[in-house]
């Protein structure tokens, strides 16, 4: 699609947008670093308190903190663009290494949660719309309303009490058992750990998609093309599958794209509850150790992740609905 | 002129909301929580963070402390009553901040279009790219947690979707006959915006406002759960976080404040649904 003029324009505009996002979030981070109590060198040192004056002076020189404000800003942005996010003295590793190390676990958790939420929410919403006004509709809509109002971290704790403490079906936390082997056993082990966390995170978004799917099926099934399909004698199931469902899925795809940032925020809470070794857990550790530079690095990378996810959704959208071309 | 203005003229909004089961239930729950917040000082005087009885008193075992006590002997019922104040205060003020920014940006962008629109919409997109919860968390972590910083952080991260809604509504009204007529009789921009455009956007804004308060309360409780609450006041999320330590044996310490959060947020969402239906009569048939 990069071969057509429209496609080239799309990618050019998206690239420009991405650059703008990087610059802006760099600015936000820079401002936050300078808003923190104490000077930025102390923040960068991880507020360890034990940092010697010589070390702080070296940091100030290294980051140009003794230079005028605009020069500092230039330095900071330049380092971000080259993906140099600084060093976490608390963890003894570069911030970028720490983040990339934790990213896969978060991506696994997020994709499992989104998959669960879309499949379950879509199915329930579809069912509710087909039985609109009936008992099943009332039950499903009520359940969606309830989960939509329940804090994610609390759901996690209650699921832990019931399924990990009382019933002992699933582990309390972590991503793999201690001393777990590699090979097929390891995959099973991770899958066993990967039940409660995505359920916790997925239930809230399932509620959103249930409501959305119900509304959009109700909207689509009155349209002319559905009436036409019915008039030409198509079977009910076939109309539902080919005509209603496909069109009703579009708003869900849009919403998933909009919500990626919010789901990432939810992942912080879920990972904290279940000691899931991902970005969210890393953010919590950074918070706990007042490692602000690491925290801001996570914020920076998460924003880029959201930007990339939005791009993926736009591409998926163009594929799902041929009427919609790629637009900057 | 169709739309929200008609609904106002036809029946008082409050009555219309109360006639719907969702609206009545939502308002009842919210009234109850409001009452709890107002009477907290009366029903349980003193600091809810003080130790008043033996620790780990289960709910229903001692009627002096109907909901029991936590691991430090703090009365859970007192915590819930005082926590209602914090949740409502932070939720409402943060929503007001978000409403101010969102309605302001959306109305200006939609009304003036052109370059101002482009700039404001880029800013909105940017704020939508930064994960809102992580953003609020970073702001509170940097500025140190207090009621002021928490409220501000939630307010300045919650407005983008509202700005988009308001912009779309204003764009639709902008070329309508009503605004054209106002322009024709020489009304100033400010007059048109404040007297003709904004009142007609009130419907969607009201619906968003109830959702915004609900989201703000959820965000506040999540921050407090992670330990980013104001250390000087009791908060429902903070209570859940504290109860987490004794989850295996005394799960009620974490469970009860969570139920309070669910009740308030559910009430606000029900109110939002009822408002939405009341303001958009076309949906009535469903």
| Residue B12 forms part of a structural domain | no
In chain B, what residues touch A161 (CB-CB under 8 Å)?
Answer: 247-248, 251, 255
Interface check A251 vs B, CB under 8 A = no
Which helix or strand (DSSP H or E) is residue A93 part of? Answer: strand A93-94
Angle between helices A292-320 and A5-35 (to 10 degrees): 160
**B75 pairs with which residues across the strands?**
B69
Q: Name which of B129, B141, B286 is nearest A292 (Cβ-Cβ).
A: B141
Structurally, chain B folds into a number of domains equal to 1
CA angle at B69 for the pair B65 and B71, rounded to the nearest 5°:
165
| Contact across the interface for B134 and A264, Cβ inside 8 Å | yes
In chain A, what residues touch B286 (CB-CB under 8 Å)?
Answer: 132, 218
pLDDT of residue B258 exceeding 60, the answer is yes
In chain B, what residues touch A292 (CB-CB under 8 Å)?
Answer: 138, 141-142
In chain B, what residues touch A132 (CB-CB under 8 Å)?
Answer: 286
- Average confidence (pLDDT) over A1-20: 77
What is residue A126's DSSP assignment?
H
pLDDT of residue B218 exceeding 70, the answer is yes
In chain A, what residues touch B125 (CB-CB under 8 Å)?
Answer: 17
Computed over every residue of chain B, the mean pLDDT equals 84
| Contact across the interface for B130 and A150, Cβ inside 8 Å | no
| Contact across the interface for A306 and B226, Cβ inside 8 Å | no
In chain A, what residues touch B210 (CB-CB under 8 Å)?
Answer: none
Computed over every residue of chain A, the mean pLDDT equals 82
pLDDT of residue A70 exceeding 80, the answer is no
- What distance in Å separates the CA atoms of residue A317 and residue A254, rounded to the nearest whole number? 8
Q: Name which of B122, B126, B247 is nearest A160 (Cβ-Cβ).
A: B247
pLDDT of residue B118 exceeding 80, the answer is yes
Q: What is the predicted pLDDT for the residue at A328?
A: 44
CA angle at A304 for the pair A151 and A195, rounded to the nearest 5°:
40
pLDDT of residue A91 exceeding 90, the answer is no
Question: What is the DSSP pairing of strand A93-94 with strand A87-88?
Answer: antiparallel
- What distance in Å separates the CA atoms of residue A316 and residue A322, rounded to the nearest whole number? 10
- What distance in Å separates the CA atoms of residue B277 and residue A282, rounded to the nearest whole number? 43
Which comes out higher in pLDDT, residue A323 or B120?
A: B120
Q: Which domains does chain A have, with CATH numbers?
A: 5-95 (no CATH), 98-322 (1.10.3720.10)
Q: Which residues contact B145 (CB under 8 A, 6 or more apart)?
A: B223, B228, B229, B230, B231
| Contact across the interface for B143 and A157, Cβ inside 8 Å | no
Structure tokens at A32: 């936050």
Rg for chain A, CA atoms, rounded: 24
Q: Name which of A32, A151, A165 is nearest B258 (Cβ-Cβ).
A: A151
pLDDT of residue B9 exceeding 60, the answer is no
- Average confidence (pLDDT) over B193-218: 88
- Classify B60 in phi/psi space as left (phi over 0), alpha (psi -120 to 50) or beta: left
- What distance in Å separates the CA atoms of residue B282 and residue B284, rounded to the nearest whole number? 5
Structure tokens at A154: 């609390």
Interface check A162 vs B, CB under 8 A = no
Interface check A283 vs B, CB under 8 A = yes
Q: What is the predicted pLDDT for the residue at A63?
A: 65
| Residue B9 forms part of a structural domain | no
Measured over the CA atoms of residue B144, residue A278, residue B221 and residue B128, the dihedral's sign is positive
- DSSP characters over A133-167: TSHHHHHHHHHHHHHHTS-HHHHHHHHIIIIIIIS
| Contact across the interface for A145 and B269, Cβ inside 8 Å | yes
What confidence tens digit (pLDDT) does each residue in A295-310 have? 888 999 888 888 888 8
- Best A265, A298, A301, A304 member to test B by mutation, with max B CBs in 10 Å, is A265
pLDDT of residue B10 exceeding 70, the answer is no
| Residue B56 forms part of a structural domain | no
pLDDT of residue A39 exceeding 90, the answer is no
pLDDT of residue B284 exceeding 50, the answer is no
ipTM of the complex: 0.85
What confidence tens digit (pLDDT) does each residue in A253-262 have? 888 888 888 8
pLDDT band (50, 70, 90) for residue B3 = very low
CA-nearest residue to A24 within chain B is B126
Interface check A313 vs B, CB under 8 A = no
Q: What is the predicted pLDDT for the residue at B94?
A: 95
CB pairs under 8 A between A and B: 140
- What distance in Å separates the CA atoms of residue A210 and residue B242, rounded to the nearest whole number? 33
pLDDT band (50, 70, 90) for residue B231 = confident
CA distances A44 to A28, A94, B232, Å, are 16, 12, 28
What confidence tens digit (pLDDT) does each residue in A196-222 have? 899 999 999 999 899 888 888 888 877
Structure tokens at A179: 């001393």
Domain range for B105 is 88-269
What confidence tens digit (pLDDT) does each residue in A171-184 have? 877 777 766 666 77
Nearest to B217 by CA among B263, B160, B261, B162: B261
pLDDT band (50, 70, 90) for residue B1 = very low
Interface check A73 vs B, CB under 8 A = no
Q: Which residues contact A21 (CB under 8 A, 6 or more apart)?
A: A303, A304, A307, B126, B129
- What distance in Å separates the CA atoms of residue B89 and residue A186, rounded to the nearest whole number? 48
Interface check A121 vs B, CB under 8 A = no
Q: What is the predicted pLDDT for the residue at B282?
A: 53
pLDDT band (50, 70, 90) for residue B128 = confident
Among the residues of chain A, which ranges form H helices?
5-35, 40-44, 53-62, 69-81, 95-130, 135-148, 152-159, 184-193, 196-220, 224-231, 236-238, 246-248, 250-274, 279-288, 292-320
| Residue B163 forms part of a structural domain | yes
Q: Name which of B221, B247, B262 is nearest A161 (Cβ-Cβ).
A: B247
| Contact across the interface for B130 and A299, Cβ inside 8 Å | yes
Q: What is the predicted pLDDT for the residue at B57?
A: 67
| Residue B230 forms part of a structural domain | yes
Q: What is the CATH number of the domain that holds B124?
A: 1.10.3720.10
* Count of residues making up chain B: 286
pLDDT of residue B285 exceeding 60, the answer is no
CA-nearest residue to A36 within chain B is B142
- What distance in Å separates the CA atoms of residue B209 and residue B96, rounded to the nearest whole number? 8
Q: How many CB atoms lie within 10 A of CB A101?
A: 14
What confidence tens digit (pLDDT) does each residue in A98-122 have? 999 899 999 999 999 999 999 999 8
| Percent of chain A residues topping a pLDDT of 90 | 18
| Residue B280 forms part of a structural domain | no
Q: Which residues contact A87 (CB under 8 A, 6 or more apart)?
A: A93, A94, A95
Interface check A145 vs B, CB under 8 A = yes
């Amino acid at each position: 699609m990069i071969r057509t003029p429209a496609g080239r324009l799309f990618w050019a505009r998206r690239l420009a947008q991405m650059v703008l996002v990087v610059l802006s979030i760099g600015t936000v981070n820079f401002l936050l670093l300078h808003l923190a109590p104490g000077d930025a060198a102390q923040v960068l040192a991880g507020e360890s308190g034990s940092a010697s004056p010589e070390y702080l002076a070296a940091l100030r020189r290294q980051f140009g903190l003794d230079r005028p404000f605009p020069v500092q800003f230039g330095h900071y942005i330049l380092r971000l663009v080259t993906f140099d996010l600084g060093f976490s003295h608390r963890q003894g590793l570069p911030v970028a290494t720490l983040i990339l190390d934790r990213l896969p676990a978060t991506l696994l958790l997020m994709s499992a949660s989104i998959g669960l939420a879309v499949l379950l929410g879509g199915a329930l919403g579809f069912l509710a719309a087909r039985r609109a006004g009936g008992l099943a509709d009332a039950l499903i809509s009520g359940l969606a309303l309830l989960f939509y109002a329940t804090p994610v971290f609390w759901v996690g704790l209650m699921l832990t009490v019931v399924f990990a403490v009382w019933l002992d079906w699933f582990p309390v936390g972590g991503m793999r058992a201690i001393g777990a082997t590699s090979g097929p056993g390891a995959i099973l082990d991770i899958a066993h750990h990967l039940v409660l966390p995505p359920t916790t995170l997925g239930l809230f978004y399932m509620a959103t998609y249930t409501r959305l799917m119900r509304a959009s099926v109700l909207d689509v099934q009155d349209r002319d093309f559905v009436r036409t399909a019915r008039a030409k004698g198509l079977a009910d199931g076939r109309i539902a599958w080919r005509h209603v469902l496909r069109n009703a899925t579009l708003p869900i795809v849009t919403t998933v794209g909009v919500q990626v940032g919010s789901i990432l925020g939810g992942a912080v809470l879920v990972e904290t509850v279940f000691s899931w070794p991902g970005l969210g857990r890393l953010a919590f550790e950074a918070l706990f150790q007042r490692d602000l530079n690491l925290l801001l690095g996570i914020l920076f990378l998460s924003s880029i992740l959201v930007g990339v996810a939005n791009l993926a959704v736009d591409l998926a959208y163009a594929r799902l609905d041929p009427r919609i071309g790629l637009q900057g | 002129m169709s739309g929200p203005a008609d609904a106002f003229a036809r029946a008082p909004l409050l009555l219309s909301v109360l006639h719907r089961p969702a609206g009545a239930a939502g308002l009842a729950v919210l009234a109850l929580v409001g009452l709890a917040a107002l009477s907290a000082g009366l029903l349980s005087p003193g600091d809810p963070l003080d130790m008043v009885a033996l620790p780990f008193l289960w709910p229903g075992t001692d009627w002096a402390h109907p909901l029991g006590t936590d691991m430090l002997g703090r009365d859970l019922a007192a915590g819930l009553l005082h926590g209602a104040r914090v949740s409502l205060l932070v939720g409402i003020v943060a929503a007001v901040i978000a409403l101010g920014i969102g309605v302001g940006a959306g109305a200006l962008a939609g009304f003036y279009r052109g370059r101002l629109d482009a700039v404001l919409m880029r800013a909105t997109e940017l704020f939508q790219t930064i994960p809102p919860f992580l953003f609020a968390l970073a702001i509170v972590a940097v500025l140190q947690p207090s009621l002021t910083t928490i409220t501000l952080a939630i307010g300045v991260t919650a407005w983008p979707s509202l700005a988009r809604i308001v912009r779309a509504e204003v764009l639709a009204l902008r070329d309508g006959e009503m605004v054209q007529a106002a322009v024709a009789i020489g009304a100033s921009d400010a007059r048109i915006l404040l007297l003709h455009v904004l009142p007609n956007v009130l419907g969607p804004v009201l619906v968003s406002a109830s959702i915004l308060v609900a989201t703000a309360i959820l965000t506040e409780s999540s921050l407090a759960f992670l330990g980013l609450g104001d250390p000087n006041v009791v908060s429902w999320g903070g209570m859940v976080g504290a109860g987490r330590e004794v989850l295996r044996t005394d799960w009620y310490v974490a469970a009860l404040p969570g139920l309070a959060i669910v009740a308030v947020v559910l009430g606000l969402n029900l109110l939002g649904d009822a408002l939405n239906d009341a303001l958009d009569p076309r949906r009535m048939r469903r």
